[in-house]
Amino acid sequence: MTSAAIVQKLWNYCNVLRDDGMSYGDYVEQLTYLLFLKMADERTKPPYNQPSAVPAKYNWPTLLKKDGDDLFDHYRHMLESLGNEKGLLGLIFNKSQNKFQDPSKLRRLVVDLIDKENWSVMSADVKGDAYEGLLEKNAQDTKSGAGQYFTPRPLIQAMVDVVQPKPKETLCDPACGTGGNLFHKRVSFRSLSIKHLLAVTIQAA
């Protein structure tokens, strides 16, 4: 599935949850928790075969086995318990809470949206594009006021074209957010480096 299709799928469900009173920020937060659990489970299977940092009683399959109020209670206890874990796991889930109002909608997100994809095999670009796409859609929603936090990619590209960053120059973006600005400048660096190598090769030939 393309990043655009994933964004549209996740965004459509965001609209459903907003009808229940869940804010966009809460949706992304809950989505992050669930995607972490799903990918942690994927990493325990071939070809990765990595041990999971998530306790067995709170891993991804335990969510799939439950429904209704049982799923609701299990998810709530899961977030609380993982937030009390030591190390990185506890840091990720620190003060996490269940923001869903309807168990059936939580079930749908878990089973129909997240579980049907293998997120670990997706490239970092696809997952990054999906996350950035959600931010962009939220920014387009004037009610959220999130436009002030998101810089449209065409504007960033225009800035890159004007500044024309060169290798060994220092870039500073003190309000980098998702890092899109810096990323596009890095892509520009790589493009310049490739052109330089091609020029040197041609001259040498």
Residue-wise pLDDT for 67-93, tens only, equals 999 999 999 999 999 999 999 999 999
Residues 79 and 55: beta-carbon distance below 8 Å: no
User: Would you say domain 3-140 falls under CATH 3.20.20.450?
Assistant: no
Q: Give per-residue burial for 32-52: e unless 16+ CB within 10 Å, then b.
A: ebbbbbbbbbbeeeeeeeeee
Q: Kindly report, as residue ranges, where domains of CATH 1.20.1260.30 are found in the chain.
A: 3-140
Residue-wise pLDDT for 120-137, tens only, equals 888 766 777 777 777 777
Residues 190 and 81: their CA atoms lie apart, in Å, by 44
User: Position of tokens 């493009």?
Assistant: 191
Residues 114 and 98: their CA atoms lie apart, in Å, by 17
End-to-end CA distance of the chain: 42
What's the mean per-residue pLDDT of the chain? 80
Residues 169 and 186: their CA atoms lie apart, in Å, by 11
